[in-house]
Structure 1
């Protein structure tokens, strides 16, 4: 598609006009020879002429490309009406100092002299009637309006800014450009003036924003998009919503959300995952169903209506976005084909509900955690269980704590972080060996760590205690950082970290989702 340079000039001209930069507009029109020739509304333009709103009409025609003959008729009518109102000063200025009237003086001197004679009359009423002959104001206005409306066009307002906004949204969706509200953005260079991209992993240490749900509603799951441009939540009332994590507001660029047509499951949403392309969001529900949605339109892309016989507790896209890994309270893991809509593989072996599942980065392994207190490592091709790990088995007594989550460490094919409902977190290899045990220092002791996440570059593990305090551990050394932060007064159920910013979001059975960021990144 070719874009005409004249169209680009008109976009700039409209911007100048709408921002009252009239001298710049005149200079641009004179230098380029391109006229804007638009009005905000054809109907309003015609109505202004018929009603004699001459100040508005003159402003509209000033920068329009209208034939001189039609402008002469318009200016003549305005002069006559001003004389009729005995506004002699403005009438004289319009007659003697405007281009259309100068054209009349040169080309139609007799007509021009009649107007001059009107201005010189002490009692102009009889002269005006003679000048007009049988036509009155209303008839003349209507004739002029009918002629002028064919000479102008209408265009949507703020066209330049609208197109620029659409271009940025396209970059957000297709190229992963992060443009967050509240952060200055250099449109010319295409980057944030105060970028949040960190130079290194840091612990979130300040409150950034809060998402607020309606009363008696709360999220059951949340996840950042893999390209980092939004946060998705799934709630107890079945809604899946897309948020601007910088402001805590619903993403304003999604029309279906603005119209109130949200993505929705029949029952409570219990798990979420976002495709690596960022175009799809997968939701699992309490009734065992899974749906995949198009983020851009909010439409349902694929349904898995019998994914599990009980609640779906976790879903996860494969790295090539062709498969979905899911687990449920039926103790089973399954891989579903996104194109076919069929179940491709099934993994059995856990004796209690699945709590989380993940692919290894090369997709050769599937890892799962369960309320039975184990981590299982499976061959993704054969569905055979390669290793069963009971983290902390040397320290437990009669009860085995639930293993709540497993997370790959960014940049490593062999290392995974495992969180249990205990005061410890474990670094486990793909061979099933516990390589490190991360424990809170004595002064920070708690009964259990409820949720964990890995920092963007894989340097730290962040974990929230049953006291809703955020702690941080070095994956390399296993040491706990001295820094810790109280996130909220209610018990946190889960958390998610941004894929490349030092930002984390937390959810609980409360209707508020606090979002924290690193102060040192600003």
Structure 2
């Protein structure tokens, strides 16, 4: 027989742990706000002897600061403040004595509860000559201080310092002891997992685990994962920016702004999204050339670039230090924008058609762009000068006199067999072949779908460690290649029609695919399927934004679907056709979320 015991923790004790942490780390404003909102006082000191010693010695500045965190009875506080006022008057600190007399809560309470005593103290302060015998009623200051110390000691608790960190440390040690956490690993305390243990051995996805349906009148135009793997964000044709849980295929309602129906928004279609390295800031680009930078935790707009480009933003990349944004556009240019200044700092010219992708090299010294003009250009990031122009060769079965749009050029992760100091790029052209090239333009390896009819690639991505290369083609199928061998290992259907792109999770074998048919899918291997609950149903959200009830649809299918209500005409499909005008209504989605400029606009940007 086994018995179970459970311990309950008072919520007020949790608040006190946080209050102590705030006090010890000089977060006094936070401490004060938390005390006021929770109506819980710390009511504890690290050392009672030290507090009583300060009372007996008349160190009133220290005593009053300590008392501000305590919950003492009104009569004790009134006795304390009355004594402090009288001693200040004795020292002829009359102005300070008057301030405490008139502005502090205990003395105002004394004025209401015992006006005669209050008027007596006030009269003693106003006297030009201070009579200690009259003020202290024949007692010595030392005796009165001793009585105050004794009264205070009855109502004050003693708590060891750093209790919150100590308890967290003890909990982590216990979890390591019982095997819940590996030893000698970096721990994500908030989520209770080992950071080093999160990275899975790379395997290509084998199934569609979750499906999100955006409805017939909208679709996602771009999707990305945050570098820490916590957020999956989509940008839609209706201007919505939404944060998803890839494990369940549902909106993240733990984000307060989404739970309240306030979403990050643009006036036009959102066609580019990117997180900074710290996963705290999200940059979004829209069809009208506007960029917004959001704080993902709060949904607040931290920076806005009204006309970052004259036409739509096709891609966004953050600089390594998160001080700048690199963008490409339908206006044939790439530009660098300063986060702190909010200004466009540099422009990279040379393309004769849409810039479909723009990325930094690993050292941020060069910029690589890919364009529908069939060229890849390598720029000097500081001078904006063109270092090299690359024309990826077409496959042997294609005509060499035709131009083939370059859909993307992305930096390759470290690949076995190649120097880690050499910058390599994967180049996706509008053919059935993806190329691995160096920045000199040399083709090192090719990856072919093997299909001449609807086998041309429209987008690609790599696994985090670079072991796998994934390309989605016009047949709406994802092709999985082994980078080491160059061979096609597997295929997986992404959508019924008009696939737009794919994005890989930074540490798990999960790929998000999105299409013009209004679907976003999360593909995973069989092991990753077990991450989230097996819902196996369709989920529909009530179209009335005031009603957040979720109900099951009759006759649900096996795939998990989350249908988002839309009322906007779809944008024309295809990366080269996304510039048509579009109007939309915000009324059913909660309105534009409040934007405030939170970054320091006076600081200079790094070049």
Both proteins in one fold, TM over 0.5: yes
Q: Per the alignment, in what secondary structure is the counterpart of residue 257 of structure 1?
A: helix
Q: Per the alignment, in what secondary structure is the counterpart of residue 378 of structure 2?
A: strand
1:73-84 map, 5 Å: none
Once residues 307 and 370 of structure 1 are traced to their aligned partners in structure 2, the CA distance between those partners, rounded to angstroms, is: 18
- Asked whether 1:431 is paired with 2:440, we answer yes
- Asked whether 1:231 is paired with 2:239, we answer no
Match of 1:406 in 2: 409
Change in CA separation of 1:312 and 1:198 when aligned onto 2, cut-off 3 Å: same
- By how many angstroms is 1:342 displaced? 1.2
- By how many angstroms is 1:479 displaced? 2.0
Higher relative contact order (CA 8 A, sep 6+): 2
- By how many angstroms is 1:477 displaced? 2.7
Runs of 4+ in structure 1 off by over 3 angstroms are: 11-14, 186-189, 393-396, 444-447
Number of aligned residue pairs: give it: 348
Once residues 376 and 456 of structure 1 are traced to their aligned partners in structure 2, the CA distance between those partners, rounded to angstroms, is: 24
Paired residues of 1:289 and 1:304 also in contact (CA < 8 A): yes
Paired residues of 2:198 and 2:507 also in contact (CA < 8 A): no
Deviations, residues 365-412 of structure 1 (Å, cap 9, x unaligned): 111110101111111111111111111257442421110011112235
Paired residues of 1:456 and 1:502 also in contact (CA < 8 A): no
- By how many angstroms is 1:491 displaced? 2.6
Once residues 349 and 189 of structure 2 are traced to their aligned partners in structure 1, the CA distance between those partners, rounded to angstroms, is: 52
Paired residues of 1:416 and 1:430 also in contact (CA < 8 A): yes
Match of 1:388 in 2: 389
- By how many angstroms is 1:445 displaced? 6.3
Change in CA separation of 1:13 and 1:355 when aligned onto 2, cut-off 3 Å: closer
The match for 1:500 among 487, 507, 522 is 507
Q: Per the alignment, in what secondary structure is the counterpart of residue 221 of structure 2?
A: strand
Paired residues of 1:457 and 1:500 also in contact (CA < 8 A): no
1:26-105 map, 5 Å: none
Once residues 361 and 501 of structure 1 are traced to their aligned partners in structure 2, the CA distance between those partners, rounded to angstroms, is: 22
Q: Per the alignment, in what secondary structure is the counterpart of residue 488 of structure 2?
A: coil
Match of 2:496 in 1: 489
Paired residues of 2:406 and 2:429 also in contact (CA < 8 A): yes
Change in CA separation of 1:408 and 1:11 when aligned onto 2, cut-off 3 Å: same
1:317-332 map, 5 Å: 317-332=318-333
Once residues 410 and 305 of structure 2 are traced to their aligned partners in structure 1, the CA distance between those partners, rounded to angstroms, is: 25
Deviations, residues 68-101 of structure 1 (Å, cap 9, x unaligned): xxxxxxxxxxxxxxxxxxxxxxxxxxxxxxxxxx
1:163-178 map, 5 Å: none
Match of 2:208 in 1: 207
- Asked whether 1:415 is paired with 2:417, we answer no
Q: Larger C-alpha radius of gyration, 1 or 2?
A: 1
Once residues 344 and 410 of structure 1 are traced to their aligned partners in structure 2, the CA distance between those partners, rounded to angstroms, is: 28
Once residues 266 and 9 of structure 2 are traced to their aligned partners in structure 1, the CA distance between those partners, rounded to angstroms, is: 48
Once residues 338 and 187 of structure 1 are traced to their aligned partners in structure 2, the CA distance between those partners, rounded to angstroms, is: 30
Change in CA separation of 1:288 and 1:474 when aligned onto 2, cut-off 3 Å: same
Paired residues of 1:369 and 1:376 also in contact (CA < 8 A): yes
Paired residues of 2:311 and 2:330 also in contact (CA < 8 A): yes
Match of 2:193 in 1: 191
Q: Per the alignment, in what secondary structure is the counterpart of residue 293 of structure 2?
A: strand
Unaligned runs of 5+ in 2: 1-6, 15-167, 172-180, 182-187, 415-419, 531-607
Q: Per the alignment, in what secondary structure is the counterpart of residue 484 of structure 1?
A: strand
Deviations, residues 123-162 of structure 1 (Å, cap 9, x unaligned): xxxxxxxxxxxxxxxxxxxxxxxxxxxxxxxxxxxxxxxx
Paired residues of 1:291 and 1:300 also in contact (CA < 8 A): yes
Q: Per the alignment, in what secondary structure is the counterpart of residue 361 of structure 1?
A: coil
Paired residues of 2:316 and 2:358 also in contact (CA < 8 A): yes
Paired residues of 2:395 and 2:431 also in contact (CA < 8 A): no
- By how many angstroms is 1:435 displaced? 1.4
Match of 1:304 in 2: 305
Paired residues of 2:222 and 2:236 also in contact (CA < 8 A): yes
Once residues 190 and 331 of structure 2 are traced to their aligned partners in structure 1, the CA distance between those partners, rounded to angstroms, is: 54
Deviations, residues 5-63 of structure 1 (Å, cap 9, x unaligned): xx98434999xxxxxxxxxxxxxxxxxxxxxxxxxxxxxxxxxxxxxxxxxxxxxxxxx
Change in CA separation of 1:11 and 1:492 when aligned onto 2, cut-off 3 Å: same
Match of 2:459 in 1: 451
- By how many angstroms is 1:475 displaced? 2.0
Once residues 316 and 391 of structure 1 are traced to their aligned partners in structure 2, the CA distance between those partners, rounded to angstroms, is: 22
Once residues 242 and 343 of structure 1 are traced to their aligned partners in structure 2, the CA distance between those partners, rounded to angstroms, is: 28
Deviations, residues 454-506 of structure 1 (Å, cap 9, x unaligned): 0111011111121112111222332222x222222223111111112111011
Once residues 332 and 476 of structure 1 are traced to their aligned partners in structure 2, the CA distance between those partners, rounded to angstroms, is: 34
Once residues 370 and 361 of structure 2 are traced to their aligned partners in structure 1, the CA distance between those partners, rounded to angstroms, is: 14
Paired residues of 1:209 and 1:516 also in contact (CA < 8 A): yes
Paired residues of 2:432 and 2:456 also in contact (CA < 8 A): yes
Paired residues of 2:394 and 2:431 also in contact (CA < 8 A): no
Match of 2:475 in 1: 467
